Amino acid sequence: MLVLLSTTGALEGAHFLATENLVSLSKQQLVDCDQECDPEEPGSCNFVCNDGLMNSAFEYTLKAGGLMREEEYPYTGKDRGACKFVKSKIVASVSNFSIVSLNEDQIAANLIKNGSLAVAINAVFMQTYIGGVSCPYICSKRIDHGVLLVRYGSAGYSPIRMKDKPYWIIKNSWGET
């Protein structure tokens, strides 16, 4: 579900900003239908439930013309079923997308302008996350998990060693366990 929540969440946010209409988009459509592979490019298959990439999911959505509603193509939790996409039932589409800079000021500006962003992070410290602001002592450039970046802030959280340090607020697809 890594890529699913991140991709559909970003599209839902952009769609709302453009139309003022909030829709829940089909994650299962991405699971079942985003199966294009380039035989000339090893690793090009987008296994959205396992090591998928948000860029590939956006590419699929662009090529397909858009995504259906979650209600009309519900999530089943099963990987790679038969594609049941119906083009006439598209409710949100993508006209373009871009890779956001690693500069945190530019990320914040994009978040304000475009709404929620699909981002990749290193999830190693999320394995033991129990709540509040995660503040790992070690940063890694290895990214392995897609999340939805929804807000940022700097004031009002308690760790004394990090008083008023900027932080990002993300939405993750993992459950409580």
CA dihedral 12, 15, 19, 22 (to 10 degrees): -10
Residue linked to tokens 């290895």? 142
Out of 55-59, 95-99, 173-177, least confident range? 173-177
Distance (Å, rounded) from C-alpha 81 to C-alpha 74? Answer: 12
Indicate whether 105 pLDDT > 80: yes
**Predicted confidence (pLDDT) per residue in 21-41, tens digit:** 999 999 999 988 987 665 555
The domain limits of the chain are 2-92, 104-171
Indicate whether 63 pLDDT > 90: yes
Whole-structure pTM over 0.85, yes or no? no
Superfamily covering domain 2-92:
Cysteine proteinases (3.90.70.10)
List beta partners, residue 118. 148
Which amino acid, residue 80? R
Pick the more confident residue, 80 or 74.
Answer: 74
Distance (Å, rounded) from C-alpha 66 to C-alpha 99? Answer: 19
**How many residues make up the chain in this entry?**
177
Task: Report which of 20, 26, 36, 23 is spatially closest to residue 4, judged by C-alpha positions.
Answer: 26
Do strands 145-153 and 117-121 pair parallel, antiparallel, or not at all (unpaired)? antiparallel
